[in-house]
Amino acid sequence: MTVKETIDRLRSELHRHNYNYYVLNSPEISDKEFDDMMSELQDLERENPEYQDNNSPTMRVGSDLNKNFTQVEHRYPMLSLGNTYSESEVADFYERVQKGLNEDFEICAELKYDGTSISLTYENGKLIRAVTRGDGEKGDDVTDNVKTIRTIPLILHGNNYPPLFEIRGEILLPWVVFEKLNEEREAREEPLFANPRNAASGTLKSQNSSVVASRKLDAYLYYLLGEELPYDGHYENLQEASKWGFKISSHMKKCHSLADIFNYINYWDVERKNLPVATDGIVLKVNSIRQQRNLGFTAKSPRWAIAYKFQAERALTRLNKVTYQVGRTGAITPVANLDPVQLAGTVVKRASLHNADIIENLDLHIGDMVYVEKGGEIIPKITGVDKDTRGMLLGEKVKFITRCPSCGSNLIRYEGEAAHYCTNETACPPQIKGKIEHFISRKAMNIDSLGPEKVDAFYNSHLIKDVADLYTLTVEDIKQLDRMGQKSAENIINGIAKSKEVPFERVLFALGIRFVGETVAKKLARSVKDIDELQDAGIEMLKNIDEIGEKIAQSIVAYFQNAANRILVERLKSVGLQFSRKEEAVNYSDKLSGQSIVISGVFSKHSRDEYKDIIEKHGGKNSGSISAKTSFILAGENMGPAKLEKADKLGIKIISEEEFIDLIS
């Protein structure tokens, strides 16, 4: 085989495996085999630059080059849809279509995905351009970034596609990925993304495509445009496009009456909460393209389609006061204290106000009636003030505090940051307690016999003043406290002792060094031999480690420059915590011996690779596809419908992450 033939073979196999893994959710080969093939291809491409190809699977990995986006004009303008929140306006739309067409018609009902829209152009089966909506007339060329999204095919399957066409859809960040991303950002004290939509559009506009590649964006395509489409039906065209390799929603439905449409709306208003991605409504489209053409467009939107938006869950209530919380890093969070109000199934009494700028922009006064929304956000937030209800009795204007509510130190605001900080790191009680709480948390030292209340009690009764004090506590010390019996005291001491086995990477995370979240801690622990090497590392050495930039490097160096931190680490070392890298102790068992296990979906406790590892360590075999020989399926969220159906047909048991962990523990 010539080099060119090898390159072509590798490319075509990698495209196929990508599709199996990301779109069908059904890999045929192991991640290791995939990675090996990818590096073989990368090497060959590096050595033979004459065979460079913009649609090679290696483009999925992204590049570190910074670039500004070029603006590209859309071949067909990217219009938006008319919006409605009311069922009667949906009925009006239906009637207008009926009158306009004066013949039978079908309506395709589909989910309105809440991400950021994208237009993809394919020529001769290859992705040639990806452009954002922009102002509708022209958008940013984000092709390199989009190429890193695994559910978007670079090369189409089969040969039944039109020679030139455009397909539009929505780029999304799945909930689980969004939550994980925000957890990591929180640990690194970076500003959180308010919702998956902002996270997706922020990511897509990133200047560094390797950042995009790491974020696991997803894409659903919902609109095909071109001169030579296979069918007259929009629904039928998209089913066809799914055969070319696109990810098309499996929840589209053709409706033949207004009643069908309302059933669809009512079903998804509830059921959408179980979807892996955010949706904010339903889109209704006349299915026939010929009929679409007959109906045409207004200046802003098509007459053949409408979006019905779900009500954002919102409530109106009174703002009683604003209190301020001090986090473990000294960051101050303003919190609105509200009259309790029912919202999306829970009673809301407090909402985050984020920072001083948000308070200023809302022009908040005590006693104001404010709107609270949950929407796609994790914590309820205040989205507005009902100024009409203020009347003559305007309350006091909310002014951000200038001193720490706990220790009274002056607050500072670092340049370019939205938050205010208390800098009294070593003596401000909530910061100290916050650091201890972080230290014992599940992903850090996992001392679950302790919790925030006990930390509070231990700290207030002067039993502990930092995390190292935990390791010199005795049962007798703890028993002195109110409501603490022998048994619970022993439990706590055992939990603390057990944490001495927690591996280096988690101990590093537990220290709570600014910007060192779980992922960074892992990278560091795998790159240095022990804590001494990390303590002595300079900025430049740290920056050589994958994913560590200037800001993180500076924070690590500053942490170890502080003598108090070095003393703390020495004390933790002397009580026996793990401060050096160890080959992981393997806990072999034969609990899964002889079993063939298929992994499917998205997981929250371990990654897919970790589960594969666990299966092997317990004597089982991981298999990519379901067959009669499959013993069971380890299913996370978002298991593909095709797999579900197959499992059902063959009567194969599906077990959850929790059940699996129980099984092997």
- Is 79 or 379 the residue whose CB approaches ligand IVH more closely? 79
The DSSP code for 602 is B
Judged by CB under 6 A, the chain residues 103 through 142 that form the site for ligand IVH are 110, 112-113, 117, 133
Backbone angles phi, psi at 23, to 5 degrees: -95, -50
Query: Least distance (Å) from ligand IVH to the CB of residue 175?
Result: 16
Q: Is 322 in the site for ligand IVH (CB under 6 A)?
A: no
Distance in angstroms (rounded) separating the CA atoms of residues 359 and 194: 16
211 with 351: CB under 8 angstroms? no
Q: How far is the CB of 113 from ligand IVH (least distance, A)?
A: 4
Nearest approach in angstroms of CB 223 to ligand IVH is: 5
- Please pick, from the candidates 155, 217, 305, 569, the single residue that binds ligand IVH as defined by CB under 6 A: 305
Q: Give the number of residues in contact with ligand IVH, rule: CB under 6 A.
A: 15
Active site residue 253: no
Verify binding: residue 80, ligand IVH, rule CB under 6 A.
Answer: yes
DSSP string, 260-309: HHHHHHHHHHHHGGGSSS-EEEEEEEESBHHHHHHH-B-SSSBTTEEEEE
Alpha-carbon distances, residue 73 vs 106, 137, 202, 344 (angstroms): 32, 6, 21, 42
Six token digits for residue 611: 């589960």
Find the binder of ligand IVH among 81, 90, 131, 199 (CB under 6 A): 81
Catalytic residue among 112, 247, 381, 454: 112
Would you count residue 376 as binding ligand IVH (CB under 6 A)? no
Residues 537, 555: Cα–Cα separation, whole Å? 12
Regarding 612 and contact with ligand IVH (CB under 6 A), the answer is no
CB of 378 to ligand IVH, least distance (A): 22
Binding letters toward ligand IVH, positions 262-301, x by CB under 6 A: ---------------------x------------------
Is residue 165 a contact partner of residue 152, using CB atoms and an 8 Å limit? no
**Quick check: 307 binds ligand IVH (CB under 6 A)?**
yes
CA 107, 108, 114, 118 torsion: positive or negative? negative
Site string for ligand IVH, 160-199 (x = CB under 6 A): ----------x-----------------------------
DSSP 365: B
Distance between CA atoms of 163 and 122, rounded to whole angstroms?
A: 8
Minimum distance of ligand IVH from residue 168's CB (angstroms):
6
Q: How far is residue 445's CA from residue 609's CA, in Å, rounded to a whole number? A: 23
* Distance of closest approach, residue 304 Cβ to ligand IVH, in angstroms: 8
CA–CA distance, 444 with 426 (Å, rounded to integer): 21
Distance separating alpha carbons of residues 25 and 426, to the nearest angstrom:
49
Of 525, 503, 515, 433, residue with least CA distance to 470: 433
Q: Which residues contact residue 79 at a Cβ distance below 8 angstroms, ignoring those fewer than 6 apart? A: 136, 297, 300, 301, 302
Over the window 195 to 224, marking each residue x when it contacts ligand IVH by CB under 6 A and - when it does not, the resulting string is ---------------------------xx-
Smaller CB separation from ligand IVH, 117 or 209: 117
By the rule CB under 6 A, 143 interacts with ligand IVH: no
The reply on whether position 61 binds ligand IVH by CB under 6 A is no
- Cβ at position 132, least distance to ligand IVH in Å: 10
> Which of 223, 611 has the CB closer to ligand IVH?
223
Q: Which is nearer to ligand IVH, 15 or 112 (CB)?
A: 112
Q: Which is nearer to ligand IVH, 133 or 438 (CB)?
A: 133
Regarding 246 and contact with ligand IVH (CB under 6 A), the answer is no
Phi-psi group of 369: left, alpha or beta (phi > 0 → left; psi -120 to 50 → alpha; rest → beta)? beta
- Which residue number is nearest to ligand IVH in terms of Cβ? 117
> For residue 220, which of 129, 112, 330 has the smallest C-alpha distance?
112
Q: Which residues are catalytic?
A: 112
Q: Which residues in this chain contact ligand IVH in the complex, by CB under 6 A?
A: 79-81, 110, 112-113, 117, 133, 170, 222-223, 283, 302, 305, 307
